[in-house]
Structure 1
Amino acid sequence: MVSRIDAINITARDHESLGAFWQQLLALQEDPDNPNNPGDPVTVFLTEPVAVNFVFQPADEGKEFTPRIHFDLNPVGSTRDEEVERLKGLGATVVADRRRENGSGYVTMSDVDGNEFCVQRSPEEVAAAGH
């Protein structure tokens, strides 16, 4: 037996603003059959089925441990740099720029509620670079 992810739940200071940010970022559609009770302030979004990689990382030695979920994103139909600019226009901010001279690397960004995520190169960019 196995389990599958049914939903990723994100608690936010301003759930409507954060939901709108991620809706635009991932092209999510609102669920017309929202399973929440009438009057619930929760918004449910749907996305196309996708393959998701799970990365389990050790906590940094000597730092206070804080559980977190962090998304690594690959642009669809654009380059990493174009996606970074688009997301800045949605209200995201750059936390760390880890792009390298050879074109590899990523950009760590923060959403409108301070949650961090990384924007990597698109699969097309990786293929064109040969790595």
Structure 2
Amino acid sequence: MPSVLQNVTFDCAVPVKLARFWSEVTGQPVDDYDSFYATVTLPNDTVLYFARVPESKTVKNRVHLCLRPDVPRDAEVSRLIGIGARLVADHRRPNGHGWVVLADPEGNEFCVLRGTPER
């Protein structure tokens, strides 16, 4: 029998702060938190789990999330930067294809793909 993805864990310094950022990204509330962890549950029941760790991020993520917004990609990139994301790399192409790499407030990279209206 195959496995089911239960959660994606983010190591971080301040779990509730990072969970609030991802709550804004996904439009889902912070479900639970204390000083050691926080959670955001997505509509498909996958949990974003934020765990407090003592060390900071030092290298590029080997696994990252890719987001496909319901709005045009450029509008979503602007919104995410407005709530605290940082631009890492811009791979948009003149023909409208491509993606944008952003980082969350703790430096975890994620991509924003073309939005649903552009697909």
Tell me if TM exceeds 0.5.
yes
- TM normalised by structure 1 equals 0.72
Deviates more, 1:41-50 or 1:19-28: 41-50
Aligned equivalents of 1:102, 1:17: Cα separation in 2: 37
Aligned equivalents of 1:49, 1:30: Cα separation in 2: 15
**Could you tell me how far 1:104 is from its partner in structure 2?**
0.6
- Write 1 or 2 for the structure with the bigger share of strand: 2
Larger radius of gyration: 1
Deviates more, 1:98-107 or 1:22-31: 22-31
Residue 123 of structure 1 corresponds to which residue in structure 2? 116
* Runs of at least 5 residues in structure 2 that lack an aligned partner in the other structure: 47-58
RMSD: 2.4
Q: 1:50 to 1:29 in 2, by over 3 A?
A: same
Residue 73 of structure 1 corresponds to which residue in structure 2? 67
Residue 109 of structure 1 corresponds to which residue in structure 2? 102
* Runs of at least 5 residues in structure 1 that lack an aligned partner in the other structure: 52-64, 127-131
Q: Figure out how many residues of one structure are paired with residues of the other and give that number.
A: 107
Residue 9 of structure 1 corresponds to which residue in structure 2? 9
Aligned equivalents of 1:113, 1:98: Cα separation in 2: 22
Deviations 1:61-85 (A, max 9, x none): xxxx976320111012x11000000
Q: 1:106 to 1:50 in 2, by over 3 A?
A: farther
**Could you tell me how far 1:6 is from its partner in structure 2?**
1.5
Query: Which residues in structure 2 correspond to 1:80-99 (within 5 Å)?
Result: 80-99=73-92
Give the ranges of 4+ consecutive aligned residues of structure 1 lying more than 6 Å apart after TM superposition. none
Residue 43 (1) aligns with residue 38 (2): yes
**Could you tell me how far 1:42 is from its partner in structure 2?**
1.7
- TM normalised by structure 2 equals 0.78
